[in-house]
Every structure is written in C-alpha cells, then in structure tokens.
A = this chain, B = another copy of it.
Amino acid sequence: MSPSRSQGKLYIVGIGPGGTEHLTKKAEKVLLSSEYVIGNGTYLDQIAIVIKGAKVIRSGMGGEIERAKKAVELSHDHVVSIVSGGDANVYGMAGIVLEVAQKEGDIDIEIIPGVTAVSAAASLLGAPIVNDFAVISLSDLLTPMDVIEKRFNSAAEADFVIAVYNPKSRNRKENFGRAIEIIKKYRNNDTPVGVVKSATREGETVIVTTLGKIIEYNDIIDMSTLVLIGNSESRLWNNRIITPRGYQRKYEY
C-alpha cells in the first residue's frame, strides 16, 4: 500500500458455489473483518450468517457496474468486500471492479479466490474434468454469438471436456440447442453429459445423461445450471462420469 493511500481496502471475494461450507477460511475471515459487504442478494443470502455484523448493500442481478462503482468509492475510506458467486475471476466480479478501479483511481485491492461452479458440479458428477477442459458461457449479452459458436466448434474439435456456464435465461432459450448441435458434429451421441442445477444449494439437481439425450432435459436447464460435456474418452459408471487422465495408456492397474 502506498503511503498516500487512506486506510481503505477492497476485497473481491469468491464465496464458492453456495452455503457457507464451501467458503474458504480466508474468504470467511475477510468477510468477518469487512465494514461493508456488497453483492447480489442471492449470494448475500448464502453467507448471511457470516456478514451479519457488516453494513450490507444488496443489489439486483445485472447491476454489476453500479455495484463495482459503489464498492470502489467506499473502499477509499473503508474496508469493503464485494462478493462473487464461485470464484472472483470466472465470470466473476474481479473484472468489472478492476475496470472501474482503472478509471476511478488506484485503491488497495485484494482478490480472494473461491471454489468455482464447475468444480462444484464436477464433484457431484464424479470425475468429468480430470483432463484438459474449456469453459464457455452461453450468455450472448456481453459476447457476440458468433464468437461463442466458434469457441464451441474449436473446443469440441480439439476434444476438450466442455463446461457450459449460463446455458439459458428467460430471454435466451435457443443458444443451448445450437451449442449441442455444434458439439454433435464432433462427438458421438453416447458421450457422457452432466447437468447440475444449484450445486451445493437448496434444490440441487444432478442428472447424468448423454449427448444424444441431453435435449430431453431442455426444460430443466436454466441460468443456475451448469452443463458438463465429456470428451471422447469419458465414460459412464454408476451414474457418474469418469474422464480418464490417461494412466491406462501407460500402466496396468
């Protein structure tokens, strides 16, 4: 911290997939020490017990820029945490907060990583992402759909396991079907697919299916769902997905 800075500090905190049990000890400590905690209401509710001593500023989904500005402003003079579901980086608040900080003057910022939604979903599905994987959001609000489609093509062709964030929203129901059609150009219908809704939260739903049958579950999929598509070596076992790391190519066991 430079000597000209005030005593303020801004933490950008990844709170993990839900509840408080997947919060890291560092994230908990930082939240407990914060004067202000800012975030989307859904995430704040998940950690209500940890932030009950702080001044809490709730905001709606979609108000990320205003939220980031408020956090930067307050952190000139106060210890502030702005929370992000999952990790602070992965489609999280670290980006917009640093973008705002770059425009509004340097402040003391520390980013606290968290358990991502993809790790949480994978843990419920077994071992789907033990090899190289690609993470793609299907939200075309901030990324053009042609860029997203190119990424699905490339990731499917190069045999990455694919984690799909934001597969659907109320106003955007078609993109998911298009992504599945792209992947089918490169992978068999029996490729394992996992669908995890509200991982480690109330209403948690875990479905293990295949690329050929995933569209049957189309109505279940929403913004709180993560879809994991196996690679060419992934297999089903006991309602779980295993993507081998490659030991079978070198060893007998």
**Residues in A lying within 8 Å of B, measured CB to CB:** 14, 16-17, 20-26, 28-29, 64-65, 69, 87-92, 94-100, 102-103, 106, 111-116, 119-120, 122-124, 126-137, 141-143, 147-148, 150-151, 153-155, 157-160, 237-238, 240, 242-251, 253
Contact = CB atoms under 8 A, between A and B. Distances in A.
Contacts of A99: 127, 242, 244, 247-248, 253
B134 A95 contact: no
A98 B126 contact: yes
Given A91-B245, A111-B127, 17 more contacts: A24-B25, A65-B253, A87-B119, A87-B123, A88-B119, A89-B123, A89-B127, A94-B122, A94-B123, A95-B242, A95-B243, A96-B245, A102-B242, A113-B115, A116-B119, A142-B245, A154-B155
Given A90-B129, A94-B123, A95-B127, A22 B25 contact: yes
Nearest to A153: B158
